Structure 1
Amino acid sequence: MSTLEGMKLVAMKRPGAQPQIVQRRNRLIGKIWEQTELAKAQQEGKTFQPTRFRSVKDAETGERRNVESPKRVRAWWFTAENGKLCMHVRYGAKTLELAKGKTAIEVGATDNLIPTLDALKAAVAAGELDAQLEAASATMRSGFARK
């Protein structure tokens, strides 16, 4: 029992589900991680292709099985007309409006891309983009509404 005496014991119940906004933040943070890995791979001259599992029905037997397939990751960054590197932040199929009328971040050079993505990840974790995530989510949900 001497090991347990050195620990702080509390009466706590595990929460059932995370709040919706925390789930949205985590989803966006995961996508930012993919963009960071894609940027690192491009700088090293390699390819980044994560995989996902898909459920496929066998035509002959009719049996369903999980198959690992490559996932396509599109880069959020592009070269603007002024020659500088810019980046959109996407949530699903929507581009987030980061400030009123502004949808892109000017990165400048490719060397600044990974630090910019890391700063963006910290901003999302701190909840700075919660209003934009809520607006994008509401827009997506309205597309599924019954008419």
Structure 2
Amino acid sequence: MSLISSLKLIEFRPETAQGRIFVRRRKLADKIDQQIKLATDPAYAPSKFVTVTDESGNQHRREVAKRIKRWWVVNADDTVQLTVRYGSKPIELAKGKNAIQCTNASEVSTVLSTVKEAVLNGELDTALSSVTGVGSKAK
């Protein structure tokens, strides 16, 4: 028996061929992961590399902290309003409603985990396409 015949062989068909919605789902899920890390650890700051030119004209790559804006606001009564954003625009989760109310700040990470599952299951596809402007033609 050969080793190749012991493997399960299939035809290669990537999911991205089915549409751009998979790319949007993955992008939003990655941003939700960042917000979950920020909610559990307030000191969380991912880094990125930038190229800096000094006075003599030499370029150097430097690692700097990436700025992440929180998607939630803590009110005076300790309730939290959480918006899910695609880019800079909040996603409308239901007709006329674009925020989730949480009882306290410790609940934010569990709510974001639930929203991430909904995104990956495709429950927010129509909201994503309305935010990204899919279907509108440039004039």
Matching residue within 106, 126, 130 for 1:135: 130
Counterpart in 1 of 2:39? 39
Cα separation, partners in 2 of 1:11 and 1:131, compared to 1, 3 Å: closer
Which 5+ residue runs of structure 2 have no aligned equivalent? none
User: Percent identity, aligned pairs only?
Assistant: 34
TM-score by length of structure 2 reads 0.82
TM-score by length of structure 1 reads 0.78
* Number of aligned residues: 138
AA in 2 matched with 1:109: N
Query: What is the deviation of 1:20?
Result: 1.3
Cα separation, partners in 2 of 1:27 and 1:12, compared to 1, 3 Å: closer
Query: What is the deviation of 1:5?
Result: 2.2
Cα deviation digits, residues 71-117 of structure 1 (max 9, x gap): 11111111246541120111111111111110100111222211111
Query: What is the deviation of 1:3?
Result: 2.6
Q: Tell me how large the CA RMSD over aligned residues is.
A: 2.7
Which 5+ residue runs of structure 1 have no aligned equivalent? none
Query: What is the deviation of 1:122?
Result: 0.3
Cα separation, partners in 2 of 1:23 and 1:37, compared to 1, 3 Å: same
Cα separation, partners in 2 of 1:116 and 1:67, compared to 1, 3 Å: same
> Aligned partners of 2:69 and 2:103: how far apart in 1?
19
Counterpart in 1 of 2:47? 51
